[in-house]
Amino acid sequence: MDFGHPHFDRTLEELGLLAQTAGLDPVGRITCKRRAPDAALFVGSGKAQEIKDLAAQLGAGEVLFDQTISPAQQRNLERLLELPVTDRTFLILEIFAQRAKSHEGKLQVELARLQYLSTRLVRRWSHLERQRGGIGTRGGPGETQIELDRRMIMSSIVRTKEQLRKLQRQRSTQRRQRERNGAFNISLIGYTNAGKSTLFNALVKARAYAADQLFATLDTTTRQMYLGDVGRSVSLSDTVGFIRDLPHGLVDAFKATLQEAVDAYLLLHVVDASNPNFPEQIAQVQSVLREIGAQAVPQIVVFNKIDALPVDAQPVRMVDSYEIDSQQCQRVFISARSLTGLQGLRDCLSQAASAQGSAQSGITPESGPDAETLLPLNA
Ligand SMILES: Nc1nc2c(ncn2[C@@H]2O[C@H](COP(=O)(O)OP(=O)(O)OP(=O)(O)O)[C@@H](O)[C@H]2O)c(=O)[nH]1
Ligand SMILES: [Mg+2]
């Protein structure tokens, strides 16, 4: 529903992809414009009827909303439409739950799910309180059950967090080990489906799962990559993709996985240049980077999928610069699929790695031979 939100997606393209990734088959799309959501139904009652008719006509078995709807709106809609109703946040959590493979990934998704549930319970709780005549009134039938559920959820949250903390400690020990060995860590980051895993596979000849799905990757994978030009290995990590309005609990829950990006010397920010929404996607990635505290890590922006660009939109120069958050970053055009431009990218990585080598051996960046190859900070 369009109420002037800057990220309103009229085509519902991304929601359709999310639905497909979760194993659903989108059969129809409907949008509407309102100044503010309706308290009871989110959409107006006329629109709700329109949705019901369309669903019946197309034989839909479920209705998805692109925006977050409240538990009360969800219940009212389900009653009226006589179909299960879900929102985008829930869909994303569902996909993460289906995809999580590693112990850590599963714990993180569980934590996000519990946090999502706990906010829903809290909201329902205040709703009940209002019904009973406001705060201060105690007792009532619904209260004990909700209080019990809430306590159970809270103690599960504490337990899950503790398990995650243990894993995090192991990770940071491994990371410190790598740092002691003078490793140069590079993290591939970017919007979901940008082609990070495809590029990872092309660069390290690995076989990470890459697919035309959102959130194909959930767990961080790290491999060594040898840069012949500078005669050293660097470590490259493939990470989980970002998406707009990532459910809040998820960013929090995935902090451990994303820590890899925070601690990297360099981020390869992979962008799907063939997606018309790429500027918006870059902005979303930057906002998650700020949230996890990785905004100051230098970036190379990798414009991927140039094979899918029309001839008149092909880059003139394969390496140039691009402004992100008022900072100039080096930009490299590639196609991870057809392997175009990978040598140019490797050259940039070699320059960055040798700049770090000089910095570590005591040469200050300003006086070193690679001064101009240093990357800007996105501080
Ligand atoms: N045309 C074209 N498609 C590409 C290119 N690189 C990747 N793709 C496709 O884009 C889709 C997503 O690729 P992935 O490598 O899984 O993307 P990702 O960024 O790792 O995605 P998540 O792990 O889901 O966040 C796949 O269908 C790839 O085949 C490219 O250079 N050109
Ligand atoms: Mg991936």
Q: Which residue has the higher pLDDT, 286 or 221?
A: 286
Beta-carbon contacts of residue 320 (< 8 Å; ≥ 6 apart): 331
255 in Cβ contact with 220 (< 8 Å): no
Q: What is the mean pLDDT of residues 56-71?
A: 92
Please give the number of the atom of ligand 1 that sits closest to the Cα of 192.
Answer: 25
pLDDT at 22 over 90: no
Please give the number of the atom of ligand 1 that sits closest to the Cα of 338.
Answer: 31
At 202 the pLDDT is 94
How does strand 185-190 pair with strand 85-87? unpaired
Query: What is the three-class DSSP state of 313?
Result: helix
Beta-carbon contacts of residue 171 (< 8 Å; ≥ 6 apart): 256, 259
Query: What is the three-class DSSP state of 91?
Result: helix
Residue 189 exposure: Cα atoms within 13 Å on the Cβ side: 34
Q: Which residue has the higher pLDDT, 273 or 234?
A: 273
Out of 36-45, 77-86, 247-256, 305-314, pick the least confident. Answer: 247-256
199 in Cβ contact with 270 (< 8 Å): yes
At 178 the pLDDT is 67
How does strand 266-272 pair with strand 299-304? parallel
Q: Residues with beta carbon inside 6 Å of ligand 1? A: 190, 192-198, 210-217, 241, 304-305, 307-308, 335-337
At 244 the pLDDT is 75
Q: What is the mean pLDDT of residues 240-261?
A: 74
At 230 the pLDDT is 86
pLDDT at 134 over 50: no
At 8 the pLDDT is 64
Structure tokens at 170: 């192991």
Q: Which residue has the higher pLDDT, 258 or 57?
A: 57
Highest mean pLDDT among 2-11, 175-184, 227-236: 227-236
- Rounded CA separation 361/85 (Å): 59
Q: What is the mean pLDDT of residues 294-315?
A: 95
Neighbour tally for 202: CB within 10 Å: 19
Query: 253 falls in which pLDDT band (50, 70, 90)?
Result: low
pLDDT at 125 over 70: no
At 123 the pLDDT is 43
Highest mean pLDDT among 19-28, 97-106, 359-368: 19-28
Most ligand 1 atoms within 8 A of CB, residue of 17, 99, 192, 193 to mutate: 193
271 in Cβ contact with 190 (< 8 Å): yes
pLDDT at 207 over 90: no
Q: Which residue has the higher pLDDT, 94 or 53?
A: 53
Query: 138 falls in which pLDDT band (50, 70, 90)?
Result: very low
Closest-lying ligand to the alpha carbon of 99?
Answer: 1
Query: 341 falls in which pLDDT band (50, 70, 90)?
Result: very high
Has this prediction a pTM greater than 0.75? Answer: yes
At 142 the pLDDT is 56
Q: What is the mean pLDDT of residues 356-362?
A: 60
- Atom 12 (ligand 1) nearest CA: 193
- Rounded CA separation 298/295 (Å): 8
Q: Which residue has the higher pLDDT, 327 or 10?
A: 327
What is the average pLDDT score of the chain?
81
Task: Measure 194 CA to ligand 1 centroid, in angstroms.
Answer: 5
Closest-lying ligand to the alpha carbon of 306?
Answer: 1
